[in-house]
Amino acid sequence: MLEHTPDVLVTKSVNSSFHGDPDLDAWLRGKAIGSFVLAGITTNHCVETTARVGGNLGYDVWFALDATHTFDRTGPDGTTMTADELARATATSIHEEFATVVRTEQVLAALSGRAPRTER
C-alpha cells in the first residue's frame, strides 16, 4: 500500500481526472509539470480517459498498465470480455497515440536513473 500525502487531490465529476476540482490541467501547468504516470481503477474507463485527455492536452503520459485494474464486462452483443482482454485493448488503443504504455518497473527505473530490464 502506498502511504503518502498527495500534492493534489482531485475530486472528479466524470471519468477523467482533468474534469474535476481542482482543475488538474491548471495545477500541473502551474507547477510546470509536463509529464505524469497513471495508475488506478478502472483501466478502460477512468484511467484510459485521463490518458486520452492528458495526451490531447499535450502532456507526456506514462500509462503503468500493470498498476491498473479493471473488471470483466459484457457487451451489447452478450459476449463477455475478460479484464485482461479489456486491459490489452486499452493498451493497444492508447499506446504511442495518447500515452506510452509501460510497466511499473520501467517507471521506477526511470525515477531512479537506471535502465529497466528488457523483455525476453
Residues 46, 63: Cα–Cα separation, whole Å:
12
60-118 pLDDT, tens digit per residue, is 999 999 999 999 999 999 999 999 999 999 999 999 999 999 999 999 999 988 766 55
Residues 71, 105: Cα–Cα separation, whole Å:
23
What is the distance, to the nearest Å, from the Cα of residue 108 to the centroid of all Cα atoms in its chain? 15
Domain ranges for the chain, please list them.
35-112
pTM over 0.75: yes
Backbone angle region of 40, left / alpha / beta, with phi > 0 → left and psi within -120 to 50 → alpha: left
Model confidence band, residue 2 (pLDDT cutoffs 50, 70, 90): low
Q: Which CATH class is domain 35-112?
A: alpha beta
